[in-house]
Structure formats: C-alpha cells, structure tokens
Structure 1
Amino acid sequence: MATIFSRHNLSTGPDVEQLAEKLDEYLFRDIDSLEETTEAIDSTFNSAVLSLYARCAVDPRAAAAETWESMVNAMQLGSALFATTGITEGTVECRINRKLRTLPAARGPRSSINAGNWLSAFWLAVICHEQQRMTQLCEISLERLRAPEGAYDEYIYHWVDTLQTYWLRRPGLAGKLTTAIEMTDPAIARIAPLDLLQGQLYPPMNLFYHFVTRDTEGFTPALTEALKLHQAYWTLTEERTTDIDGSIALGPLAIACLAHDGKFPIGIESDYLPKHLLQHTWLGEFPT
C-alpha cells in the first residue's frame, strides 16, 4: 500500500479558483495575439505555468479537464517558445489551446532562451508524454541555452546535457550525470541560493540517478526525499507557504512519470504529484 505524503497547507478556496479563472482569461487572450507577434511569448509561457500551478492548487489530483488543459497549454507554449526563437524569419506552426496556429519568428536575442526555461519545457513535455516535443527540445544545442556569465551555475548545463544524452541515446550518460551531481556541491555552485539548490535543483538529479540505474527499490525513498525537500523549501518562509508555485513538484513529477512508464513501483501518493498527471489518465482526450 502506498504511503501518503500530504501537501503543505496551501489555500485552495474560492479565491484561488477565481485566480485560476482570471489567469486563464488573460492567458487565452495572450495566446490569440501570438499569431500577430511573438514578442511576448516568454511572458505568455510564464503565465501558462502560473495558471497550471493555480489549477493544481485547487485540483490536487488533476481530476478536472481544466487542469489537464492547463498542463497541455503550458507544455505547448514551452515548446513554442523554443520553436519561434529557433528561426530568424518566416513562421512556424504550433498547436496551442486546441488550435493550430501560425506563429512568426521571435526576432532578436531572448534572455528567456536559457537552461532554466528549457528544463521547465522538458518536464512539461515528459508529463504530457509528448515524445516528439521531447526530441525537438533535446536537439537544441547547449550553446543556444547559455545565459550571460553569472546567471546560472555550470551544473545546469551538465544537467541539460545529461537529459539530452539520455533521451537521444547518446554515449556517456553515466559520466555526464555524475558530473552534473558533483557540480551541485555548494562549494562549486555559488550562484543559486543554497535553499534553492538543495530543495529544488538537486533532488530531480538524485531521483533521475535511481531511475536510470533501474534502482526500483531505491526510487520511492528518493522520491519521498524529493517531496520532503520540496515541502521544506516552500514552507521555509510565510510568504512561500502561500505561493501557488509550490502546489506541485514539477521535476520530480516528470521523473516519476518516466518511472511509471518504465513499470517502476511508485510507493508514495501525494498532491505534489497529481494522480491523473502521473498516471497519464487524460492522454488522448484532445489533440496536444
């Protein structure tokens, strides 16, 4: 029988539900404007992720169709962000919010094309079981994702390289993962705050290690530890405790989805890992 790991006391009342509806209202308007210009596609992606967190706050099992649509919209916008910035002219077709849209190239350098947003886009594609989008994201060069010096610790590029190597079945996975993990040592990683590094950035790597080594016995303990660290991070201050960004553990959820697909026993249930997202209940309900 699975162990229950409770989410921290996050507000799920009418105010949050109204927030989710209002966020969607603005989001759908912004999505419709993308066919005219993609200059705001990065902020539209951020809005979609925020809407997802709000939906998961009020629907922790992701039992409602609106929650799945929110997940799909965030995933589609994450892919579209990198697709429209990967061309310098012309257009690219992207399905967003149930409609196939022709989006113009996003001109000029974009600070949003970075390893942090790549990880978010990749996790969303994994959760939505969008293998073609995962492949497209993994074909993006590390050079394109490099932010100005001082924006990210070097570990993040090794982590992206590890995930790309895994998905594209390139050689050297074990060494790359080992290097990525070693470079999260606080003595080396000096840019990310220590609480963020330990509570949000390192746990998915550790969990991924148990997944790729087929450590079925160690996976659930590692997942439990990841959720404990997620909760500790989002309850460290009173302000964080009320932040809907903490409603789900996106990276651990994505890796748990990979493990679920790989027939790993998942011995823990938690609102941080919405049941119907983890189990792909909604797949095929509408085009993604």
Structure 2
Amino acid sequence: MTVTVVRHIVAGPEAAAFAERLSKQVAGHIDRLETSADSIDFAFSTALLALQAHCVADPEAANLETWEAAVNAMQLGTALFAVTGGSEGTVECRINGSVRTIPVIGPQPYADAGNWLLAFWLAVICREQERMTQLCQIPLEQLRSPGGEYEEFFYHWVDVQQTYWLRRPGLVEKLIAAIETSNPETANTVPRDMLQGLLYPPINLFYHFVRKHEEGFSPALVEALNLHKAYWTQNEERAVDIDGAVALGPLAMACLAYDGKLPIGVESDFVPKYLLEHGWLGEFPT
C-alpha cells in the first residue's frame, strides 16, 4: 500500500517564471567564480533556492530544468569545499556545463558541517559517487565551526555518512553516538521543533536503511515527511517559505534506500518522483 503525503506548498501562476529567474541568477554567479570565489557561499544558497523553486513549479521534477537546477546546486556544493580546502592555487570544477578554473580562497566559516550535509545529500540525490567520495574525504576537524555553532551530533552525523560511504570501521558505534547526541536533552541549544522536525528524521531513516529494514523504512519516511510538513506549517511565515518545498535530507536517505532495493511505499512532492528515481541520470555530464 502506497501512502501519500501531500505537500503544503502549491505552485502559483508565476512559479515557473520565478524559478527561471533564480536559475539565471545562479548562472551569473557561476560565471563570475573564475574571477573570484569569494561569494561561492551565496551562489550555493541561491542554487538551493532555485532547486526548491523549480520543484514547486514542477512537483515531480519531470522537467530537464529541474534536474539542471539539482545538478548546479550539487556542483556548487562540492566546489565550495574544493575552493576552501587549500590555501593557494586553483581548482578545476565542472559547473553548469563547463569546466571552470576557480581560485582557491582558503578556509572559510561557511565550509562547515551544515553545508557539508547539504552538499553530500545533493551528491547522493544526483548519484554522483565521485563527488560523494571527495566530500567524505574531508576531515571532520576541517568542518568544525570556529564559533562552536553546531551541536556535537552534527559531527557524529557527518562521521556516520563518511564512515558508511568510505567503508570505514565503527559504523554502528558512530550511528549510536549520532542518535544519542541528537536527543533534545543533549542537543539543547537547537530549537526543539527544528531538531525533531528537520534534523533527527534523516538520522532515523539512515538507521532503517543500514539495517535493511524493509518494513520500517517507509513508515519512517512517512513520519519524516509529516514532521517536515509540521515544521514548515507551524506559522504563516514558514508556510510560504519555499525552503520547505523539498525535504532534502529525507530525499537523500530515500535515494539510498531506492538504490538499495528497499521498497519506497511513499509518494510525496516533498521527495520528487524523478529525483528519487534518478529519471534524468546520465542525460548530460555532471
């Protein structure tokens, strides 16, 4: 039996035009990177917004433009860590259809665990295994925010995904640590609604995935999407924010499960069909 989780955001008459305008802004930011990468964090955040906007206008992600938006966001996410991972020289990054030579800018505060999670999830969604490997080779200490912005469970969660993908030892122990440190009593500087609605559900989904829990994954995905929806509809301001259009963390975990042949008995615009099922995979170089 397939369960449907209805998304709270519906496309208005200007949705497609808005998404296209954002994509043009992203293209402009990308073209300027070879001159200066100082604004790559803004380019990445704009690309994420463009992806969400395209998924509002195109709920199943059936259009090529939506896949291109996903790929651009993914490519900018990995480029962000490439240009901040050294102190000099240049790096070559394929973004928006071209290989670009981008100057290295050295460590930056935004090359942190939060953006790492977004970049890795995008690479999972786009099935970009080489980029997943590159991201997983970044040392945890390099991702620590100088101001201590993130609770410890963020780093445990990053460590879990790096350990899984690179097949390092200790996955079970690290997953237990991520679950325990994401408890509201421990991660007490994070707003409880954010912790329970957005941050913990992907960890729980990963737990079901690595256990190959066929009967448990779909109910956990339904719960994750309902929690995502509850968070983004808690007030009027959130309800109209397109950042809530796609549940990136649950979508990435669902992509792992789909590729691992676990049944996905859930349909929802929060996890667009053709991103989940990689309908555009291989259509152009990524």
User: TM-score with structure 2 length normalisation?
Assistant: 0.98
SS at match of 1:14: coil
The one-letter code sitting in structure 2 at the alignment partner of 1:197 is L
The one-letter code sitting in structure 1 at the alignment partner of 2:91 is V
Aligned match of 2:28: 29
Q: CA deviation at 1:89?
A: 1.0
User: TM-score with structure 1 length normalisation?
Assistant: 0.97
SS at match of 2:30: helix
SS at match of 1:233: helix
Listed as ranges, the matches of 1:56-75 within 5 Å are: 56-75=55-74
For 1:59 and 1:140, how far apart are their aligned partners in 2?
34
Aligned match of 2:82: 83
Q: CA deviation at 1:237?
A: 0.7
* Deviating 4+ runs (over 6 angstroms): none
> Is contact 1:177–1:209 with CA below 8 Å preserved after alignment?
yes
For 1:44 and 1:174, how far apart are their aligned partners in 2?
36
For 2:13 and 2:92, how far apart are their aligned partners in 1?
37
SS at match of 2:14: helix
Aligned match of 1:136: 134
For 2:230 and 2:3, how far apart are their aligned partners in 1?
18
Q: CA deviation at 1:200?
A: 0.2
For 2:13 and 2:38, how far apart are their aligned partners in 1?
33
Aligned match of 1:153: 151
Aligned match of 1:215: 213
Q: CA deviation at 1:17?
A: 2.2
For 1:159 and 1:92, how far apart are their aligned partners in 2?
28
Q: CA deviation at 1:44?
A: 0.4
Q: CA deviation at 1:14?
A: 2.6
Aligned match of 1:98: 97
Aligned match of 2:237: 239
* % same residue: 61
Aligned match of 2:203: 205
Aligned match of 1:177: 175
The one-letter code sitting in structure 2 at the alignment partner of 1:39 is D
CA-based RMSD of the aligned residues comes to 0.9
Unaligned runs of 5+ in 2: none
Listed as ranges, the matches of 1:3-22 within 5 Å are: 3-8=3-8, 10-22=9-21
Aligned match of 1:115: 113
1:194 aligns with 2:192: yes
> Is contact 1:151–1:191 with CA below 8 Å preserved after alignment?
no
Unaligned runs of 5+ in 1: none
The one-letter code sitting in structure 1 at the alignment partner of 2:5 is F
For 1:3 and 1:142, how far apart are their aligned partners in 2?
37
